[in-house]
Amino acid sequence: MIFIAVKVFELSATERKIIHSIQDLVKRNNIDNIARTEAYLRYFQENQEIKWSFLAHMVSRNAGWNMCDLEGKWFPKVISKHERDVLFQTYEKANWLIFQDAFPQLLLYQYSTKNKEAMFHLLPFFHVSKFMEQEWKYYWHSKDHVRILIALIINEQNMIQKPVIDNPFYRKSVFRTSLFSFQDWFHYSCVLLPTIHGELFGASVSGFRFVDKRIDLGKRLAAILFHKNLYPYFYEFAKKTIHTGSRDDYEQYLYDYPRSKTTPLRESFPVINHSDERFKDWSKLKKIKPKWFSHTIHHRHPVVITKWFKGKQKTLHKAILMKEMFVRKLHFHKREEEMMED
């Protein structure tokens, strides 16, 4: 254990027990995308005032679907095994880091409510930013549910910037590739919020590499997810639909749409053992922008995206088939030339 702020010998037996309990819970629930997604939902069901946990659950579902797509019917046709492995590592690393950072915060809040005593002085033992330590202390007294939701969005997007987005390996292998630029430009990387009634809601972002854009996306998604007229449908989907990572999780509810039947995540990918790296507190290196806390939401596109999604998928599949045919023709002509030379 690293000694930060509060020395371990100054902690009570109860505090030490809580720290070890949280460390164990985080480790057991951060095994893979399936475990994380389920943990976020269980937490929300017990602490519905912490809305970020439900937002994290729905975004984590999308991460699982995107992971499974890499081994589905379409992407292996045009993306090499090495490229698919790197994309999987990128999704997995970002989501592992977010859970590793956020879940101890959620659990400490839960312990605080049970004990009726704020325990946020223990956050440094989990390497949580000073920014979030202050936000949790403020929330404990203010009960400003919207602010803590936005604060968690701000924190997690800033927290992954250096280890994932700006990481030289991921920057070169993922974020500066033509494939990523294509998805970014045409909004194919859309976060879906399904219902069991065959409707898809959601939002997309271009400029994913930039913190401001991702924070804005998080706030737009939250505005849709917790809209009083829509929230019951999303929660109904989450409760009734087991998360497998397969697109079939929501495609089973779509009308007039062929089910892709992608293989469930745990049948597609192994468990990844992550190194528990430590990074400098982002909030000590960067100035907090007031606009990050703005409640003003601008939905640039319709939030009901069922028809849009179906159209985009058809276009994407046609493009993949055309590229596959082009590659086959190239190979055919190359073989002809080689035979003529022989």
CA 191 from chain center: how many Å?
A: 9
Q: CB neighbours of 76 closer than 8 A, spacing ≥ 6? A: 70, 84
pLDDT > 70 in the chain, percent: 88
Rounded distance, CA 240 to CA 190, Å? 22
Instruction: Name which of 165, 162, 205, 201 is nearest 186 in CA terms.
Output: 205
45, 126, 252, 313, 320 from 261: Cα distances, Å: 29, 39, 9, 14, 18
> Residue 284 has what DSSP assignment?
G
Q: What is the tens place of the pLDDT at every residue in 326-335?
A: 556 555 555 6
pTM to 2 decimals?
0.90
**Which pLDDT value is given to residue 187?**
42
**Which pLDDT value is given to residue 1?**
40
φ, ψ dihedrals at 59, nearest 5°: -70, -35
Q: Which residues of the chain carry a pLDDT beneath 50?
A: 1-5, 182, 184-188
Task: Give the helix ranges, DSSP H, for 70-205.
Answer: 81-115, 130-142, 145-159, 168-170, 178-185
Rounded distance, CA 184 to CA 228, Å? 30
Rounded distance, CA 225 to CA 235, Å? 9
- Where do the structural domains in the chain lie, given as residue ranges? 8-258+281-341
Rounded distance, CA 126 to CA 115, Å? 20
Rounded distance, CA 196 to CA 298, Å? 27
